[in-house]
Amino acid sequence: MNLRFIGSMAWYYGIKTIIRGPSYLIASLATPLTLLFLVYILSHGVLVKFAIVGGLIAFIGSVGLSGAGDAAFFRLQLRMQELYVATEIHASDYMIAFTLSYLVFAIPGVVLYAYLGTIYHLFTLFNVLGMIFIMVFLVVTTTAISFIISGSINHLRNIWGITAILTIITSILPPTFYPYYYVPNAFLYIISLSPTTPAAVLAQGIFGLAPFQINMVYIFIVEIIFYSLLARFFVKWQEKR
């Protein structure tokens, strides 16, 4: 593993991007914060804790999924992936570097949600640690999905549309802004295909907002492994066709 490359990429494409292109950060925060506002108004504040915890999950998920556009753009338009194939790094270094960049990029948004969570007295040492694990695993899984999508397409023209659709599906349909027990179990398992579902259900359990669902731990672990392996296959580091 090339930690120097991964660290440099996270610094340049994570931190520097926040400074030079803050609009991207605001754009990824816009939907979750708007929904948080709506949930607050419509539920008269009753579900606001769900919306804060879920909003953070949705934000992290959308940051990871926005990587599909980036990864495709880097591969098909900038040809950066080809440039890096002929170096010492492996496909896994390349993907981890992206993942860490997105994680770093998400820090200001996480701080904002942390502030909101503090106002509502949401945090304990236990649930903060639990949430950090969930966020890290969620970024890994959603970035892996990004590479699966970006590796599956041969033309850029549809990628922004696909990413937008996926972001909405994975951030609003799952129980991010509402209690997971509001939907039937069967539906919950269907939407568990999106990693934001187990992440949101687990977060609600950890924060004591709803009963803890141990099944979702297994689903989340399986998804992390499955999507990561699939991404390794789809990344097209060396083409064989």
Partner 1 sequence: MIDIKGISKIYNKNKVAVNNINCRIESGISTIIGKNGAGKTTLLRILSTQLKPSSGDAFIDNLSIIKDVEKVRKKIVSIPQESSPIGILTSYEQVFLYLTARGFSFKSAKDETLRALKIVNLYNDRNRPTDELSGGMKRKMFVAMALASNAENIFLDEPTTGLDPLSRMETWAAIKMLSGNVILTTHYMEEAKELSQRIYMMNDGSIINSGSYNELLYPYRNKIRIESYSKLDNSYNIGNIYIKYINSDEMGKYNDEYNVIKKITIEDLFIMRGVDLES
* Nearest CA-CA partner of 207 in 98, 144, 121: 121
What are all long-range contacts of 153-159, with beta carbons under 8 Å and residues at least 24 apart? 153/72, 153/76, 154/76, 155/76, 156/72, 156/73, 156/76, 156/77, 159/68, 159/69, 159/72, 159/73
CB of 87 to partner 1, least distance (A): 4
| Nearest residue (CB) to partner 1, 214 versus 239 | 239
Residues 6+ apart with CB under 8 A from 179: 47, 50, 204, 209, 210
Shortest distance (Å) from residue 27 CB to partner 1: 14
Q: Which is nearer to partner 1, 4 or 152 (CB)?
A: 4
Least separation in angstroms between residue 112's CB and partner 1 is: 22
C-beta of 83 vs 190, nearer to partner 1? 83
Name which of 50 and 102 has its Cβ closer to partner 1: 102
| Shortest CB 7 distance to partner 1, Å | 8
Q: Could you list the residues that contact partner 1 (CB under 8 A)?
A: 2, 4-5, 8-9, 12-13, 16-17, 20-21, 74, 77-80, 82-89, 93, 238-241
Residue of 113, 58, 81 whose CA lies nearest to 9: 81
